[in-house]
Each structure stands twice: as structure tokens, then as C-alpha cells.
Amino acid sequence: MKEIMFILSLSFLLFSCKKVENNQTVSDKDSLETYMKNLIVPDTKPPYTGSYYVHVDFTNLTTSENKKLTFSETYQNMSLWSIPIESGLGMSVQGAIFRDSKTAEQLQISFHFVNSLDTTFKIRYANYFFSDPWNRGAGANIIYMRPVSDSDPSTFNLYLGTNSSNGYFEITYIGDNRLNGIFHTTWKECCAGNMTFDVHGDFSIPDIRHY
């Protein structure tokens, strides 16, 4: 499978929640949305402002096989859910999806929430829980879809990020019609599959709230 890759440069710093965000003190008593783990401090370095993209580096936890994918608006098709869309599972979804026309693979940065409770999903400098749209678990997610086989490109294997003690999904930059972030999670194959992957990555997508 031929991959089109290019070099993207991002530098992020990780901080604890007891720092300063937008000149306000962040403490344990600050009110957080239920889909946020903690607040973080914006990176002080100049943000990446190039082509929108999603990059993932994932390793099969059974076979140790490693794969890297970088999908961008330059080489793949990018589409947006800028208005909340009902997913049919009691959740609404916003986000960005990148589709590769050659392989039919897809990478999605998705935000799931219950529209009746959260009429506007809040984007902040924060570490988000990984969403579980089947069990009405609000949050953010990095989703990977790939065809089951070359002969049947319409049927996909679906992989969702899951919550763990060492996992994170952090929004590290908000501005210039852009959301930048980093993530670490375990992908689990959905719907009767048993494959799992350790996943690291980063992204830069349009600010879906204002697009």
C-alpha cells in the first residue's frame, strides 16, 4: 500500500492543570465540563499554521507491526461537520474527516456530545475524555476506518480511541480558524473485532465552531 507522506513540524509542551490559562488561575475547584479531564496551558511557541492534517503512529499490540499515516487537505479529501449532526446513537457529532481516494482509508477528529444537554460543545485548552458514542459518553476521539478488503471497499473496520490512565486528547492551540492538538490512546476494533493498537498522533483542523 503506497503512502503519501510529508514532513509536518509541531512542538507541544505538556503542563498540569494547576497553571494559568488565559490569565486565569486553574485549580481543582474550577468547573469542568463532564467530557474534560483537566485544563492545560497553551503552548507559548508559535503554532503550526500550515495545511490541515491528521497524523497517527500506531502499533499492533499483538504483532508489534507499526504503521504511520498522515492525511492532509493537500493529498486527501477533507470534509467538515461544522454543524452538529445526529449520529443515530443518541449523540451529536462535529469534527473533520480525511478520506484517501486511493486506499479508501479515513481518519476522523470527532467530538461527540448529547445535543439536548450540551447545545454547544465547548472547545477549550483542555485534555478531553475519549468519547463513546454507543454508550452516550461525550468527549473527543480519533477514529480510523479502513476497508475490510480491496475487493469490498464499502465495508470498513472501525477503530475508536479509548480512555486509560495514560491516555490524553489535548487541544493545544485555538485560533486563526484552527484547532491543533495531540493524542495518545488505544484503538480498539469496533463491532466484534479484537485488534488493538497503541496510538500517538497530532492534528490541525479548521475551527469547526466558526467555519
Q: Which amino acid is at 190?
A: C
Task: Report, as an integer, the average pLDDT of 150-164.
Answer: 86
- Lowest mean pLDDT segment, chosen from 22-36, 48-62, 128-142: 22-36
Range among 8-12, 16-20, 27-31 rated most confident: 27-31
Residue 190 confidence class, pLDDT cut points 50, 70, 90: confident
Q: Which residue has the higher pLDDT, 90 or 165?
A: 165
Domain presence at residue 85: yes
Q: Has residue 75 got a pLDDT over 90?
A: yes
Domain presence at residue 97: yes
For residue 116, the model assigns a pLDDT of: 73
- Are the C-beta atoms of residues 58 and 66 closer than 8 Å to each other? yes
Domain presence at residue 6: no
What is the domain extent for residue 100?
A: 58-205
Domain presence at residue 134: yes
Domain presence at residue 128: yes
18 phi, psi to nearest 5 deg = -95, 50
Q: Which residue has the higher pLDDT, 167 or 29?
A: 167
**Angle 152-187-178 (CA atoms, 0-180°, nearest 5)?**
95
Tell how strand 66-72 and strand 77-86 pair up. unpaired
For residue 8, the model assigns a pLDDT of: 34
DSSP state of 129: P
Cell of 122: 465547548
**Angle 188-174-209 (CA atoms, 0-180°, nearest 5)?**
80
Q: Has residue 175 got a pLDDT over 50?
A: yes
For residue 133, the model assigns a pLDDT of: 87
Q: Which distant-in-sequence residues (6+ apart) come within 8 Å of 165 by Cβ?
A: none
Structural domain total, the chain: 1
Domain presence at residue 124: yes
Domain presence at residue 3: no
For residue 22, the model assigns a pLDDT of: 38
Q: How far apart, in whole angstroms, are the C-alpha atoms of residue 43 and residue 94?
A: 24
Q: How far apart, in whole angstroms, are the C-alpha atoms of residue 27 and residue 119?
A: 26
Kindly tell me the sign of the dihedral angle through the C-alpha atoms of 121, 123, 54, 130.
Answer: negative
Residue 143 confidence class, pLDDT cut points 50, 70, 90: very high
For residue 88, the model assigns a pLDDT of: 64
Q: Give this prediction's pTM.
A: 0.82
Q: How far apart, in whole angstroms, are the C-alpha atoms of residue 179 and residue 14?
A: 16
Task: Report, as an integer, the average pLDDT of 142-166.
Answer: 89
Query: How confident is the prediction for the chain on average, in pLDDT?
Result: 83
Cα–Cα separations (whole angstroms), residue 130 to 23, 76, 183: 27, 25, 10
Domain presence at residue 5: no
Kindly tell me the sign of the dihedral angle through the C-alpha atoms of 86, 87, 91, 93.
Answer: negative
Residue 97 confidence class, pLDDT cut points 50, 70, 90: very high
For residue 91, the model assigns a pLDDT of: 85
